[in-house]
């Protein structure tokens, strides 16, 4: 593995960065990723269609996607600052797509290990992580490290 991608979501990024710091010496390049998607807008259109409602005015999801991207950019910038505080340089990347899981899996490759936090569902098995982590585990093209944060 040449690259480590630490997948941030803006929730417990300082804890995730602290956990990932121990892994960084094993990799040539450290990247901070934040993914967002337009799934909510698609779901809204699906519900409208299913209930026979006319499309109406253009859905506001165009502005929502712009806001989501701005938030993702702020998250990776904050993550880069956290990494610099640990004397680790990292590049930042914002990923967009159908949803966060699809965006992360699509960006993954055989030369990158993904490092991400799992939801707080507890237990073991396929339902012990959230839907984004589950999708990434099932579809990433490289190894995935799941971290449970308190």
What is the pTM (predicted TM-score) of this model? 0.79
Domains and CATH numbers, the chain: 3-39+66-147 (3.40.50.12370)
Q: Enumerate the β-bridge partners of residue 25.
A: none
DSSP state of 29: E
Closest CA relative to residue 95, chosen from 131, 67, 130, 69? 69
For residues 136 and 35, give the distance between their C-alpha atoms in angstroms, rounded to a whole number.
Answer: 12
| Full DSSP string of 59-127 | PTHHHHHHHHHHHHHHHHHHHHHHHHHTT---EEEEEEESSHHHHHHHH--TTEEEEEEPPS--SSSGG
Residues 81-134: tens digit of each pLDDT: 999 999 999 999 999 887 888 899 999 988 999 998 876 666 666 667 778 888
């Amino acid at each position: 593995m040449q690259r480590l991608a630490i997948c941030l979501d803006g929730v417990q990024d300082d804890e995730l960065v602290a956990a990932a710091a121990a892994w960084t010496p094993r990799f040539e390049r450290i990247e901070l990723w934040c993914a967002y998607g337009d799934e909510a807008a698609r779901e809204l259109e699906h519900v409208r269609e299913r209930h026979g409602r006319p499309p109406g005015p253009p859905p506001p999801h165009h502005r929502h996607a712009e806001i989501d991207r701005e938030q993702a950019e702020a998250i990776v910038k904050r993550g880069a600052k956290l990494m610099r505080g640990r004397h680790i340089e990292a590049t930042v990347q914002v990923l967009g797509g159908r949803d966060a899981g699809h965006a992360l899996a699509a960006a993954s490759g055989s030369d990158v290990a993904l490092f991400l936090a799992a939801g707080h569902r507890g237990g073991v098995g396929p339902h012990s992580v959230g839907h984004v982590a589950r999708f990434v585990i099932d579809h990433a093209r490289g190894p995935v490290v799941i971290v449970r944060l308190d």
